[in-house]
Amino acid sequence: MKLYAIAGSPNSRKVLAIVNHLNMQLDVQYLDLFKAEHKEMGYLAINPNGKVPALVDGDLKLWESNAIMQYLANKAEDDLLYPANNKLRADINKWQCWELAHFNQVFGTLAFESVAKPVFLKQEGNIAVIDWCKEKLVQYAGVLNSHLKNQDFMVADRITLADYSMIHVEFFKEQVPFDWSEFVHLNTYFERMRSLPQWASTAPKHPSEIGRVPASHSDMKV
Ligand SMILES: N[C@@H](CCC(=O)N[C@@H](CS)C(=O)NCC(=O)O)C(=O)O
């Protein structure tokens, strides 16, 4: 199996955390964001969206981080991160759909427009988009905060795929122009989750490594 990723990309980190958590062996091919390697023809034949992550397993070309996480957990025959129990699995799927469509759609877009664009791409963020994201994030952060009032994890009483999905934009949490102070349960949860070794070890050692191919991976080809 080969996983295509960009160093520091939140969606790549989600999948790498599952690889760590399940102690799986696979090749990781890092693409250079600044050379736009994720837009080259060879990679577009794997993921026509020109986005990471993507997984190749034999004749399967799989993109969408949540789908890759589910595939890896199934492949590892893991019954804890992604239990076969229909109700537990439905609940995990619900939160993975929700983070993708709502919470992290606005949090991720806010991070991209207000931080990633100016800092990494030397472009101005779109003010109208930033304002819209901030307004929607109040609503979705409220939903997440209420859910976490009486529980430590998203589903049941242990870590599942839903947790790694939920926190994947955490690197940008304190950098975005958003007041998180009223969302105390959400904040406690993010603090606990971001220190998990399986997650923390997916982060580049230094911000200058974000988007660049780590030296140890530079001889691999798409
Ligand atoms: N819904 C997709 C989102 C993938 C995505 O947006 N990836 C970002 C990195 S975190 C990317 O490749 N951005 C580069 C681009 O869009 O050009 C997933 O969950 O995999």
* 105-117 per-position pLDDT tens digit: 999 999 999 999 9
Give the pLDDT of residue 120: 85
Tokens 């577009």 sit at which residue? 44
Nearest CA to ligand 1 atom 12: 51
Query: Given this model, what pLDDT does residue 208 score?
Result: 87
pLDDT of the residue at 91: 98
Does residue 137 carry a pLDDT above 80? Answer: yes
Region of 130 on the Ramachandran plot (φ > 0 left; ψ -120 to 50 alpha; else beta):
alpha
Span 67-91, average pLDDT: 97
The candidate with the shortest Cα–Cα distance to 83, out of 10, 158, 8, is 158
Quote the ligand 1 centre to 106 CA distance (angstroms).
14
Terminal Cα-to-Cα distance of the chain (whole angstroms): 13
Whether pLDDT at 222 is above 60: no
Region 138-157 average pLDDT: 97
* Average pLDDT over all residues of the chain: 96
> According to the model, what pLDDT value does residue 121 have?
86
pLDDT for residue 221 is more than 80: no
- pTM equals 0.95
pLDDT over 70 percentage in the chain? 97
- CA atoms of 184 and 170, how far apart (whole Å): 15
Show the ligand 1 pocket: residues with CB < 6 angstroms: 6, 9-11, 38, 50-53, 64-65
Residue 136 pLDDT > 80 = yes
65 CA → ligand 1 middle, Å = 9
Residue 207: its pLDDT value, please?
85
Arithmetic mean of pLDDT, 177-206: 96
Query: What pLDDT sits at residue 219?
Result: 54
189 has pLDDT over 90: yes
Looking at residue 92, its pLDDT comes to 98
Choice from 16, 29, 32, 52 to test ligand 1 binding pocket (greatest atom count within 8 A of CB) = 52
Residue 203 has pLDDT above 80, yes or no: yes
* Local confidence band at 180 (pLDDT 50, 70, 90 cut-offs): very high
Return the structure tokens found at 179: 């007041």
Pairing of strands 60-63, 27-30: unpaired
What does each C-alpha distance from 100 to 86, 145, 162, 166, 200 come to in angstroms? 21, 17, 11, 9, 21
